[in-house]
């Protein structure tokens, strides 16, 4: 959350990130990026939104899973993680409306939620959740044999 708060400031607007990112990408890929830098810069920033809020969605799910898995279904936990992501993304965009060099748009909220939904879907498809019985058995430590 601190990362989102820090990056939501005026100094992280596109007018301030363009040159440092341009220098980095030019060092990596050469002058070929100059032809379409504005479009590439936009893509880099939007990819950052997508991945950052996707990560937030995963972290929300993880914290909910470890604290609420006995009270809610996995689907409910995914929904709660999405709701948390939506609230944070909305608050971030509302805050950006009040900064002189930033814009707050609902399309960015949708992009942020798409990132969370995508990474949560990947998690759901690749990791089989344990049943409460399996989780309890896995958390018990093996006692050494008595001599």
50 lies in some domain: no
Instruction: Check residues 38 and 22 and name the one with the higher pLDDT.
Output: 38
Measured from the Cβ of residue 4, the count of other Cβ atoms closer than 10 Å reads: 16
Mean pLDDT of the chain: 83
Query: Is there a domain that residue 107 lies in?
Result: yes
| 19 lies in some domain | no
Confidence (pTM): 0.74
Each residue's pLDDT tens digit, 59-72: 999 999 999 999 99
Counted domains in the chain: 1
Q: How far apart are CA 134 and CA 65, in angstroms?
A: 14
pLDDT tens-digit series, residues 86-128: 999 999 889 888 888 778 899 999 999 999 999 999 999 998 7
> Domain residues for 95?
73-126
Helix (H) or strand (E) holding 72: none
Position 81 in a domain: yes
């Amino acid at each position: 959350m601190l990362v989102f708060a820090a990056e939501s400031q005026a100094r992280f607007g596109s007018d301030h990130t363009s040159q440092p990112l341009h220098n980095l990408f030019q060092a990596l890929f050469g002058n070929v990026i100059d032809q379409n830098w504005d479009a590439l810069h936009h893509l880099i920033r939007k990819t950052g939104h997508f991945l950052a809020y996707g990560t937030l969605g995963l972290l929300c799910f993880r914290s909910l899973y470890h604290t609420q898995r006995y009270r809610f279904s996995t689907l409910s936990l995914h929904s709660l993680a999405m709701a948390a992501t939506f609230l944070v993304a909305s608050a971030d965009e509302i805050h950006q409306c009040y900064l002189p060099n930033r814009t707050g748009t609902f399309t960015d909220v949708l992009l942020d939620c798409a990132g969370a939904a995508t990474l949560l879907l990947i998690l759901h498809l690749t990791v089989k959740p344990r049943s409460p019985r399996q989780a309890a058995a896995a958390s018990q430590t093996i006692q050494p044999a008595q001599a």
